[in-house]
Amino acid sequence: MSLGEKANNVAFSSMLLSVASMRKADELTISYGAPGIELMEQAGRGVAEKIMQIFPTHTKVLVVCGPGNNGGDGFIAARILLENSYNVMVALLGVADDLKGDAAEAAERWAEPMFSVGEINLEEFDVVIDALFGAGLNRPLDGEALDIVERINAAGKVIVSVDIPSGISGDTGAISGEAVRATHTVTFAAYKPGHFLYPGAAYVGELSVVDIGISPQTIEQVHEGLFANGPGFWQEALPQLEYGSHKYTRGHALVLSGGITATGAARLAARGALRIGAGLVTIAAPPVSVPIHASQLTAIMLREMASVDDLNGIIADKRFNAVVLGPALGVGNGTQELVAAVVKAGRPIVLDADALTSFAGSLDTLARLTEKTDTVVTPHEGEFFRLFNNENEILKGFSKIERAKFAANYLKATVVLKGADTIIAAPDGRVCINTNGTPLLATAGTGDVLAGMIGGLLAQGMSSFEAASAAVWLHAEAARNFGPGLIAEDVPEMLPTVLHKWHVS
Ligand SMILES: NC(=O)C1=CN([C@@H]2O[C@H](COP(=O)(O)OP(=O)(O)OC[C@H]3O[C@@H](n4cnc5c(N)ncnc54)[C@H](OP(=O)(O)O)[C@@H]3O)[C@@H](O)[C@H]2O)[C@@H](O)CC1
Ligand SMILES: Nc1ncnc2c1ncn2[C@@H]1O[C@H](COP(=O)(O)OP(=O)(O)O)[C@@H](O)[C@H]1O
Ligand SMILES: [K+]
């Protein structure tokens, strides 16, 4: 199952828990009276039920347990599978006498022999349960741990990972040396960031979440503003058509165009804005580009913009209620001035591509502008590092989430840090990780379409964090619906199909 299909799961909850907040949720639930071993019983049962679902007829299962509570879940799963007449063998990394707390209790409840990982021949089994490390992974794998992970990966069996594939950081998706390549992962209470962040996300396989008795109120209590992007997160905030809507109530997006050899990007953005539902979309273009646009455009309108004064004149019309600047606009002072003019007019803006690169080396000038108006910036990694070049010392060692958060706070803007695992960060500290990214989007111009789509949602009055999150998800969903052969032009044209599927009017 792909990440996108995970997000399409109706039961999908958008709250993600960091490793620390999951630990807090465990502790709180235990303090409310649920013994830790009971949570572990539920976790182990969830894993055993996944195996019974994949293999309804009995099969040979190897459970590889680590030295902590992840291993504890493994012992429970082993016992439940045995009780259901599965052929089960348990291998332990380390020695049973060193097990502590709930894991020791879980091991006690496994009355059968325990083997050491070195003794096991993986060829004898149909499925391997990876219960080596979960939330407690705290250093790179080496020695016997690394060896067993490599053997599990080489065996070519069905692999069900407990909580997260061993070797992946639950907070960042980073891999310390090596990680288990799972075919399925069963996690508990809520998804974790590491399930969706690369490189780890590629190791997760089909992902499911099991209720282990941690209440939604407890999850909410420990939640630190991390979300998984999917319709559940923004569907209610999407603009809806009402009886009596007219084109101006649906908003008027303005897209600024570059010069004669660089007009396509603005048209892609404009088409994205129109298809996502803006009532009107206008391109403002330098005089040399006007004839080219005029020969290409139909529903999208066109204005001539020879100077910043012309732009000031255009946006004096208050009905332009969102502006997209950047796609192929040109790098330099001229672009900085255009951004300043739109900020002065107080319109929500999307700053992409050249509008960001134009501020490389003058980040503080950009920050003074972006803090003044509702802004979404949409850098890919290259644009991000060009822009934040002087902050490299601070950013060193930051995860992608931390970088996006830092930028959102610095610029007082919503940051869309693009890539396979696009992250959307709000200036108030909330962060949303996209879940349906697809390499189909790795083709020229799709970023321009995304900038336009965000602008189209802003024009319809959606707030920036939700608008950016919705646009990122719908953008990838459009690409998935089109499939192989996708080029940027196809993304806006697939939007009606996607919007229809998600019951968006
Ligand atoms: N009540 C609860 O809390 C519940 C928890 N639940 C489950 O518990 C899991 C978290 O358990 P956990 O905190 O015990 O951590 P876990 O992932 O088992 O690893 C810790 C051990 O691994 C070791 N170790 C670490 N890195 C290593 C390395 N690279 N190479 C070698 N060793 C390494 C580390 O060693 P140490 O640092 O102590 O030397 C320690 O011994 C969570 O993912 C979920 O599955 C569920 O049952 C629901 C209820
Ligand atoms: N491998 C990938 N997986 C998922 N999404 C990708 C991948 N490569 C690119 N994308 C997406 O495609 C878009 C490309 O945007 P950008 O880099 O600005 O390109 P352009 O400037 O050509 O429009 C972004 O939305 C990005 O997240
Ligand atoms: K694991």
Is the beta carbon of 446 within 6 A of some atom in ligand 2? yes
Q: Whose CA is nearest to atom 1 of ligand 2?
A: 439
d(CA 286, CA 297): 15
For tokens 């070049």, the residue is 389
Q: Among positive and negative, which fits the CA dihedral 169, 170, 171, 173? A: positive
Q: 387-390: list long-range contacts, CB under 8 Å, 24+ apart.
A: 387/356, 387/357, 387/359, 387/360, 387/363, 388/363, 389/360, 389/361, 390/361, 390/363
H helices present in 276-362, as ranges: 290-296, 308-315, 333-344, 353-357
Residue 390: the pLDDT is 85
Q: Specify the ligand 1 atom closest to the Cα of 189.
A: 48
For tokens 């004064």, the residue is 309
The b-or-e profile of 307-322 (16+ CB within 10 A means b, else e) is eeebbeebbeeeebbb
- CA of 103 from ligand 1 middle (Å) equals 9
Give me the domains of the chain, ranges plus CATH numbers.
3-223 (3.40.50.10260), 234-388+397-501 (3.40.1190.20)
DSSP state letters, 49-102? HHHHHH-SS--EEEEEE-SSHHHHHHHHHHHHHHHTT-EEEEEESS-GGG--HH
**Residue 418 annotated in ligand binding:** yes
Residue 2: the pLDDT is 40
Is the beta carbon of 4 within 6 A of some atom in ligand 2? no
d(CA 372, CA 359): 16
Question: Tens digits of per-residue pLDDT, 385-436?
Answer: 999 998 888 888 899 999 999 999 999 999 999 999 999 999 999 999 999 9
Residue 505: the pLDDT is 53
Residue 230: the pLDDT is 93
- The closest alpha carbon to 44, from 148, 145, 191, 160, belongs to 160
- In order along its 505 residues, the chain shows pLDDT tens digits of 344 444 434 334 699 999 999 999 999 999 999 999 999 999 999 999 999 999 988 899 999 999 999 999 999 999 999 999 999 999 999 999 999 999 999 999 999 999 999 999 999 999 999 999 999 999 999 999 999 999 999 999 999 999 999 999 999 999 988 999 999 999 999 999 999 999 999 999 999 999 999 999 999 999 999 999 999 999 999 998 888 888 888 999 999 999 999 999 999 999 999 999 999 999 999 999 999 999 999 999 999 999 999 999 999 999 999 999 999 999 999 999 999 999 999 999 999 999 999 999 999 999 999 999 999 999 999 999 999 998 888 888 899 999 999 999 999 999 999 999 999 999 999 999 999 999 999 999 999 999 999 999 999 999 999 999 999 999 999 999 999 999 999 999 999 999 998 765 5
pLDDT above 70 covers a percentage of the chain that reads 97
pTM of the model: 0.94
**Complex ipTM, two decimals?**
0.95
Q: Whose CA is nearest to atom 13 of ligand 2?
A: 447
Ligand nearest the Cα of residue 131 is: 3
Name the residue of 138, 178, 195, 218 whose CB sits within 8 Å of the most ligand 1 atoms, as the mutation to test its pocket: 138
**Amino acid letter, residue 204:** V
> Which residues are paired to 254 by β-bridges?
282, 323
The b-or-e profile of 109-136 (16+ CB within 10 A means b, else e) is bbeeebeebeebebeebbbbbbbbbbbe
- CA of 278 from ligand 3 middle (Å) equals 46
- CA of 204 from ligand 3 middle (Å) equals 10
Ligand 1 pocket residues where CB is under 6 Å = 26, 36, 39-40, 43, 66-73, 102, 133-141, 145, 162-163, 188, 212
Residue 13: the pLDDT is 67
Name the residue of 137, 168, 191, 219 whose CB sits within 8 Å of the most ligand 1 atoms, as the mutation to test its pocket: 137
Determine the straight-line distance between the first and last CA of the chain, rounded to whole angstroms: 28
**Residue 279 annotated in ligand binding:** no
Name the residue of 50, 98, 133 whose CB sits within 8 Å of the most ligand 1 atoms, as the mutation to test its pocket: 133
d(CA 128, CA 118): 15
d(CA 256, CA 254): 7
Rama region for 285: left / alpha / beta (φ>0; ψ in -120 to 50; rest): beta
Residue 245: the pLDDT is 86
In terms of residues, how long is the chain? Answer: 505
The b-or-e profile of 348-363 (16+ CB within 10 A means b, else e) is bbbbbbbbbbbbbeeb
